[in-house]
Structure 1
Amino acid sequence: MNNEVNLLEFKPKFLTNLIAYSREENDGYFSFRFITPALSNETILNWTCVEIIKLLNGETTLKDIVDYFVTKYKAPREVVYNDVVSIIQNFLDLQLLTWEGTNPFIDKYKFELGYGFSAYLADYKDVSKIIGYFKKANIMDEEKRNSQYRYINPYVDVVNLVNAETLKSGFLTKAQFIFVLEKEDKIRGVFFSMNNMKINVNSLIAVIMDDDTNVEDKFLEYVISMIPQISKKSIKKFRLYLSDNDNIENTIFKEGHFVKGVTLEDELGYNQNVVEYNYCI
């Protein structure tokens, strides 16, 4: 999280369209049902949370909100500040907020790669842009996939790669990592992987990247170096799968980094074998 000054200038907006209904209960509490993959049941909020929801209009800063409650309740500023920040963080975790510009609550791990390209860690607000990029690359149609296609895990149903709810749900698990390659505010590449929750392995899901990036090696190097650092789970290796008809030298990955492992015979049916490659950290 960035410093307190940046937090105080943050102007989040509550996504009121995600409120299915709200109902006032006894003793100043309210029942809410939100349309979000993070919650399936009713949520009980106190009046302070409801007031904060009303103040989250995209124009009011966190400083304004803190000042409002300090004045209204004559409460210590530090206590109010900590409470407001905690509530905002909870709303972000539930994917109930949007914002313009940067979000000081979310570390994007942005890194300049040269030639005007930068890499950053995506969050739920980036989902629509990522899906748009995937669709542009025609990943749904194997015969029409353009040159942006670099790797798609053969076990993955590509329908889920262009499903907003699936991608948003993935961010809730803290096991999904999507890094974006960007230039001049346009997506030029996406690296998508997920941790296997049972073993210390990060499995590659998809890598889609434009041809003329000039920084693909730097992008991959940066992402592979960052994921073990930010993962909630210890990662010992990265893993990818290729059909035995594919040559890893024809992919964006090079043998020597990813070492050939076992061959899983007839894994995909129709006599299609799958070869496992591992990159040990």
Structure 2
Amino acid sequence: MAELAADQHVRYIVTVEKKKDSFESLVMEHIRLNGAYWGLTTLDLLHKLHAVDAAEVVDWIMSCYHPESGGFGGNVGHDPHVLYTLSAVQVLCLFDRLDVLDIDKVADCQMLLDCKMRMDHFLVISGVKSTLVFCCVGALAITGSLHHIDRDLLGWWLCERQCKDGGLNGRPEKLADVCYSWWVLSSLIMIDRVHWIDKEKLAKFILNCQDKENGGISDRPDNAVDIYHTYFGVAGLSLMEYPGVKPMDPAYALPLDVVNRIFLRK
């Protein structure tokens, strides 16, 4: 099996941000905050978060903040949205800098932080149950409501997402895609059915999607790499306890030590 080209991936992540005129940078201009979360979390999983200037990152994150609403835009000057707000909070968690936030305002947008218990869990659970797909499992896990799931039935559907090449897809008849190494695997872990797939074959699929010279991971072998699939590839390896990669929390989508420090107070 190929090995994880960790040093090359770190170099790719650090340099991609500096190439302002590159195609990848331009197409991600409106979701730059999401890209920051993907890239910085990958660096942390690879024990290289110190490769960036934390103060500079935090300053930029806060330049995307809209104090009137408590939300964050996808880039400076962009309108706020809950998705970008989530990424902003997650990045600030990586650097242990939630102190820069007005937590009450941000909590109006999402259910992270200590304010999450203020939400009406019954309404949340009812909404998730009515449209249950694997992406909703995390919401049920965070609210302590996984008992509402038929774990065997959902686990069967999720493990059926493993293709002959070892990768996972998002729905039947689709090709495997590295990003589902996170979406499917995290759900299987949360419902305690991850042993139903072949993790060795999945790891091999992810590693075969690497650009071992220039860094980065693609959606499938021989395709162009991008920051999105680089993150989800490394995150998937983390969930499978790949050597040298920090463990990941499957519900919060953050390194486990960050979750323990900030959310669980360990």
Q: Which interval holds the TM-score relative to the shorter structure? A: under 0.3
More strand by share: 1
**Relative contact order, higher structure (CA 8 A, sep 6+):** 2
TM-score (norm 2): 0.23
Structure having the larger proportion of residues in helix: 2
